[in-house]
């Protein structure tokens, strides 16, 4: 597993495997695949630009055309489905090791599949980084909890003024 790649399972994992290489070849990174609905499912793809620049409407269109063609050929869903491509947004999901590390110090909510430290499933605090196995979060009381990444159901940044300021500042290039 690369720090730049999210982990998916089931149908979402199969779709991620299909689209990952073509997406990266065009200068993008996959943030998340989510399949919603059953009768006519929506395949939601969230992506970032690999160069760190903002993900624009033009990027959405380019990625949508690319992935539509790739998924039409591979046809991972037997019924009719809809493709939706978007940026991860400011209060983005945290799916990759690099997300947890790039946003260390910012507020996040993490929900586990199974009870974790303190027999809890939901945690809110400041991100303190991650590695491939564990995400660290500093709770309001100052306690640092280590949460198994394999048990994380969902994790996302909390929208705060500090996060908005951080994500809207111009990127410095050398």
**pLDDT tops 50 at residue 172:** yes
User: Which tokens go with 45?
Assistant: 């793809």
For domain 97-168, the question of CATH label 2.30.30.100 is answered with yes
For the chain, percent of residues with pLDDT exceeding 70:
95
Whose CA is closest to 85, among 157, 173, 23? 23
- In whole angstroms, give the CA distance from residue 60 to residue 90: 16
Location of each CATH 2.30.30.100 domain in the chain: 97-168
User: Which tokens go with 169?
Assistant: 């500042």
CA pseudo-torsion sign 85, 87, 89, 95: positive
Whose CA is closest to 101, among 78, 135, 74, 75? 135
**Per residue in 122-133, pLDDT tens?**
999 999 999 999
pLDDT of residue 1: 45
**Per residue in 27-54, pLDDT tens?**
999 999 999 998 899 999 999 999 988 8
Superfamily of domain 10-87 in CATH is: RimP-like superfamily, N-terminal (3.30.300.70)
Whose CA is closest to 85, among 56, 64, 54? 64
Beta bridge partners of 138: 126, 144
Location of each CATH 3.30.300.70 domain in the chain: 10-87
- In whole angstroms, give the CA distance from residue 104 to residue 25: 28
């Amino acid at each position: 597993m690369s720090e730049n790649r999210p982990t998916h399972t089931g149908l979402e994992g199969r779709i991620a495997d299909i689209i990952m290489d073509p997406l990266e070849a065009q200068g993008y990174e996959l943030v998340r695949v989510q399949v919603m609905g059953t009768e006519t499912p929506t395949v939601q793809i969230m992506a970032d630009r690999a160069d760190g620049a903002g993900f624009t409407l033009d990027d959405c269109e380019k990625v949508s055309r690319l992935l539509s063609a790739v998924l039409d050929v591979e046809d991972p869903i037997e019924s009719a489905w809809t493709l939706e491509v978007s940026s991860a947004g400011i209060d983005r999901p945290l799916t990759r090791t690099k997300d947890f590390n790039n946003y260390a110090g910012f507020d996040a909510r993490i929900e586990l599949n199974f009870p974790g430290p303190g027999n809890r499933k939901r945690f809110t605090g400041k991100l303190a980084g991650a590695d491939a196995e564990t995400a660290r979060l500093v709770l309001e009381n100052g306690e640092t909890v280590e949460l198994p990444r394999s048990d994380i159901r969902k994790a996302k940044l909390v929208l705060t003024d500090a996060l908005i300021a951080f994500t809207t500042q111009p990127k410095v290039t050398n």
